[in-house]
Amino acid sequence: MNTECHRIADQLRRAFAGDPWHGPSLQDLLDNVTPKQAVARPLSSAHSIWELVLHIQVWAHAGLEVLRGVPLPKLYGTEKDWPAIADSSAAAWTDTKDSLFQTGSQLALAIEQFNDARLTETVPGRNYDFYYLFHGVIQHSLYHGGQIALLKKAHPA
């Protein structure tokens, strides 16, 4: 079946761990990033790679929760939007990446199972529709993926 929701889910999978048109997926970008690189701030006014991963995770998780019936909370400009790094160990870095990719996979599956007829419904807690939300999560993830790529170049392993 090749529905619009299937195509959107495919784009999300490509952004997170597949073969996107634009370049490396988030998984490819993060594969060889060490915890030291992830927490580094080679650009003092920019977020670290780890902070970016947590931030991407927040929005992917929020998208997933909306599909589970939870209204999309106000995140922008709150502490929840940019969670602090609680533990900078290698195990915590692995857990952070695993959580990101698990959430991305779950969200892609949920989008795939979403009914195309509902794409124009308004997202609970927002004034835009599910189509806009789903594409927004993908665009947001790729935008920050580009930042991760630049930070890796600014602080090589």
CA neighbours closer than 13 Å in the CB half-sphere of residue 103: 26
155 against 120, higher pLDDT: 120
- Distance of alpha carbon 105 from alpha carbon 155, whole angstroms: 29
Q: pLDDT of 53-78, one tens digit each?
A: 999 999 999 999 999 999 999 998 88
d(CA 37, CA 145): 15
Output the domain CATH number for residue 137: 1.20.120.450
User: How many distinct structural domains can be found in the chain?
Assistant: 1
pLDDT reading at 1 higher than 70:
no
Q: How many CB atoms lie within 10 A of CB 119?
A: 18
> Are the beta carbons of 125 and 73 closer than 8 angstroms?
yes
Residue span of the structural domain in which 78 resides: 4-154
What is the tens place of the pLDDT at every residue in 102-136?
999 999 999 999 999 999 999 998 999 999 999 99
